[in-house]
């Protein structure tokens, strides 16, 4: 059984650091990682988070501009980039949400994977999750996002 299933709807939104939107912070772990769900309502630049590595998983189709390179990103696809990169998101399919994972470079790293709810429920019922490393999951309705954290040694 998963160790933690988090719901962004149980958390009050707060303004983004750059004032261009809102986020719901789910985890701020002293071990060096932060997990949040952003409400994407308009095209916007991302805030600078020098020294952190980021994983961004949109739940709608978007175009990301990362250091001037435009890249179409399909919903449910995770993209990794450095926190100091110049990043902007363009909403091509309208408003939606995105899961954001930030890790302290050199202390830990992480990943995100979107799992259809039906598949997640089947795997949970059969206890197929790695017992040695129980996961953190974000419940987003039709999709559940698995969060993986690895600590540097």
Q: Give the pLDDT confidence of 39-70 residue by residue, as tens digits.
A: 998 899 998 999 999 999 999 999 999 999 99
CA dist., res. 26 & res. 138, Å (int): 9
Q: Which helix (H) or strand (E) holds 118?
A: helix 117-125
User: In terms of residue numbers, what domain contains 22?
Assistant: 4-151
Q: What is the CA radius of gyration of the chain?
A: 15
Contact status, residue 27 vs residue 52, Cβ threshold 8 Å:
no
Q: Identify which has the larger pLDDT, 57 or 129.
A: 57
Residue 89 burial by CB count (10 A; 0-12/13-18/19+): exposed, middle or buried? buried
Read off the CATH number of the domain in which 146 is found: 2.60.120.10
pLDDT of the residue at 130 = 53
Q: pLDDT (tens digit, 9 = 90+) per residue, 1-17?
A: 446 899 999 999 998 87
Closest CA to 99 of 65, 67, 136: 136
Is 133's pLDDT higher than 70?
no
**Model confidence, pTM:** 0.91
Number of domains in the chain: 1
Partners of 21 in the β-ladder: none
């Amino acid at each position: 059984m998963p160790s933690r299933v988090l719901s962004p709807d149980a958390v009050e939104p707060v303004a983004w650091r750059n004032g261009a939107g809102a986020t719901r912070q789910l985890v701020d772990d002293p071990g060096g990682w932060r997990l949040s769900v952003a409400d994407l309502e308009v095209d916007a630049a991302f805030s600078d988070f020098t020294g952190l590595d980021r994983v961004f998983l949109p739940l709608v189709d978007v175009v990301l501009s990362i250091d001037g390179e435009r890249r179409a990103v399909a919903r449910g696809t995770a993209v990794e980039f450095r926190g100091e990169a110049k990043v902007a998101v363009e909403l091509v399919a309208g408003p939606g949400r995105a899961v954001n994972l930030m890790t302290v470079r050199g202390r830990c790293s992480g990943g995100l994977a979107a799992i259809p709810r039906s598949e997640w429920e089947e795997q949970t019922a059969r206890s197929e999750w790695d017992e040695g490393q129980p996961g953190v999951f974000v419940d987003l309705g039709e999709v559940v996002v698995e969060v993986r954290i690895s600590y540097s040694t």
